Amino acid sequence: MDEGRGIHVESGVARYFGGRRYRYILFFFSVFLFFCFFFVFFIFCFFFLFF
């Protein structure tokens, strides 16, 4: 029940954003998260090395 509803909501959101644009938004969001994680990891390494 919940799985079906989740898939339905996903398709609805994709249709609302217009398929391809929704995919691009998801891609850029994942890249943004990756860069944030890398930045935090870099700061952590910097503090670990210097303190």
- Within 10 A of 22 (CB to CB), how many other CB atoms are there? 15
Q: Is the alpha carbon torsion for 35, 36, 41, 43 positive or negative?
A: positive
pTM: 0.45
Confidence at residue 5, expressed as pLDDT on a 0 to 100 scale:
54
Q: What is the pLDDT of residues 13-40, one digit of tens each?
A: 666 656 677 778 888 999 999 999 999 9
Confidence at residue 34, expressed as pLDDT on a 0 to 100 scale:
94
Q: Per-domain residue ranges for the chain?
A: 23-51
Cα 18 to its chain centre, rounded Å, is 18
